[in-house]
Amino acid sequence: MVMLSINILAGAIGGFAIGCGMAAAHRAAGRSWISTTAGAAIGGLVIGGAVKMVGADAFSVLLGKTPGGIAGGFEGMLLGGAVGLGSHLSLARVRSWPSISGAALAGGAMGAVLPLIGGRLMGASLDSLAATFPESPLNIDALGRWFGETHFGIIAQMGFGAFEGFVFGTAITVAIRYANTLLSELDAR
């Protein structure tokens, strides 16, 4: 339950920052694919970098060690940009709404690619955390067996990364649609 809560909180904060980045870019530069992608990428970069910095400092102060391979600004920028681009590219077919399917597919694709280029999402970050603190009961190597690996290797990272990115992209666009509906209802009153 603790790990699930941390994952939900991290995803919510990241999604909020990416959504704010998209909204700020739309206000400043209009609704072009470039501004949507750039705004989402900048939102992901800022929050990913800030969370990694604060998290690393917290581990260092509390436990005297800092896990090396945890997600940060790089992953936030690429995942945010992919979700922003995916949500925008399908706007041509679904006017006035960000595309849930476009953002989900782009997020899933980027989540699968990130481990190949040295990035880490939540699953790989948790694996790094478990390796840094071997006395901890946290061990996600068993999840690697789902993918035919003996540990949480690159194939498992790609599989879980795709799932994480897919869910993340879906959640962001659902939240944007919900907020847009609420704002439209308030404007109508």
Q: Is the pLDDT of residue 7 over 90?
A: no
Q: How many domains does the chain have?
A: 1
Local confidence band at 91 (pLDDT 50, 70, 90 cut-offs): low
Local confidence band at 159 (pLDDT 50, 70, 90 cut-offs): very high
Torsion of CA 116, 86, 125, 137, to 10 degrees: -120
Q: List all residues 6 or more positions away from 61 whose beta carbon is below 8 Å from its beta carbon.
A: none
Contact in structure between 101 and 83 (CB atoms under 8 Å): no
End-to-end CA distance of the chain: 41
Q: What is the pLDDT of residues 99-139, one digit of tens each?
A: 788 889 999 999 999 999 999 888 888 888 888 878 878 77
* Residue 60 phi, psi dihedral angles, 5° rounding: -65, -45
Q: Give the residue, 95 or 179, on which the prediction is more confident.
A: 179
What predicted TM-score, i.e. pTM, was given to this entire model?
0.84
Local confidence band at 90 (pLDDT 50, 70, 90 cut-offs): low
Local confidence band at 41 (pLDDT 50, 70, 90 cut-offs): very high
How many residues does this entry show for the chain?
189
What's the domain range around 97? 2-188
Dig out the tokens for 82 from the structure.
């992919």
Q: List all residues 6 or more positions away from 123 whose beta carbon is below 8 Å from its beta carbon.
A: 140, 143, 152, 156, 157, 160, 161, 164
Identify the pLDDT of residue 33: 86
Identify the pLDDT of residue 94: 55
